[in-house]
Structure 1
Amino acid sequence: MISVVLIDDHVLVRSGYRAMLERRPEFSVVGEADDGEAGLALIRRLEPDLAVLDLHMPKLTGVEVTERVRRGNLRTRVVIVTMAGEAPFPRRLLEAGAMGYLTKACPAEEFLQALQQVADGRRYLAPAVAQQLAMEALDGSGSPFDRLTARELEIAIRLAQGDDAQSLSRFLSISDKTISTHKSNIFAKLDIDNVVALAHMASLHGVLDLGSALESASGGRRRRR
């Protein structure tokens, strides 16, 4: 039997995953968590076969959880399922150690097929993601956002969407000073000096396609600058 933990900050999403998996005798949901930090602790404690993660969660992002699972040499294989329609940075997730990448718009059968394939030790990418990676390999394109760490990437996206330091501090459970340090590092790596330029760059590279996911995760409309 394939053991699975579900990590998503939306209870209805986790309920939907559980309902699908409980109809299949080969899967067993052994735990759930509603933020990345709790999810990582759950993975470390249970070491399930699979962890199904949201990309954007409080405290630790899906990328950060994935990287820590890999660095900890845990047996759990990670499948990212995100609301992002165009998956703007799949390469980062693959480098972090993700074995699967899906969008929440995928059919139930694709979701179950992906989990089975990853459990069997094979990588699964949504067709649109695989096509994007193939095109990047052909034309040598990439994103300047690939230069950022997982935490910097999360903060850059939220800054581009209009979050301020205080809201980021509350959502990510880190200090305003740490947010400021990350912001300076982001600007240096992207060779920009203000949030307007960051938002423009994020739009050009498809990062703002995550706007609906981030707004949902923060629980409401964002304050714009």
Structure 2
Amino acid sequence: MKYIKLHLYTRHKPPLTDKNTDEVVKLHLKRTIAAIVSACMLTITASAQSTYTVKSGDTLWKIASKHQVGLSELIAANPQIKNISLIYPGQKITIPAQPSTTAFEDEVIRLVNNERAKRGLMKLTKNWELSRVARYKSQDMANKHYFSHTSPTYGSPFTMMQNFGIRFSAAGENIAMGQRTPQEVMNAWMNSAGHRANILSPVYNQIGVGMAKNSAGVVFWTQEFIKSP
């Protein structure tokens, strides 16, 4: 069986961004802890990991951003680090591998931008952090046997984005289940007026795509769209 669903964009007040405030520090720690728990459930096959040597001025946050991996995944891959606020030059850090699904996800983004280009619309920029959110959402649907925009783990798409630190002034989500290839899932979305409206919306400027399989091999797809604030 193959299914598709969409969530049209809505507008939200962007979350706090001043990392120096106590409120934001506490919120970030809460989100990090939650994401670490979630990372334990992420079962997408990945290629080989690599090692990075810490340089002067590095923090785990900077290293994670540089290598386009989530902070929680970086922490989980380095259990030898007892204090995540304390790393030193010369220390070896394990960098988690990119999931093997990345090529399929990137192909969906390419197909999206092809459709937009045909209509003279601005190309959407890939946001790796948004793709990470989309991947978690797809894996959550696969693991917990549901097909909905509202996750029992993360809540609504907008709550999930905010809890993963994504800032936006408008956002939307398309999901699909059962399609085996990027072209197949794009055909399904483009043949649905609501999903096509998200893909071709002039409002958005960034995109993330994530896919995952359940134990039966059924593929789940998530597209996340945002307008950066």
- The normalised TM-score by structure 2 is 0.31
Greater per-residue helix proportion: 1
Structure with larger RCO (C-alpha < 8 A, sep 6+): 2
Greater per-residue strand proportion: 2
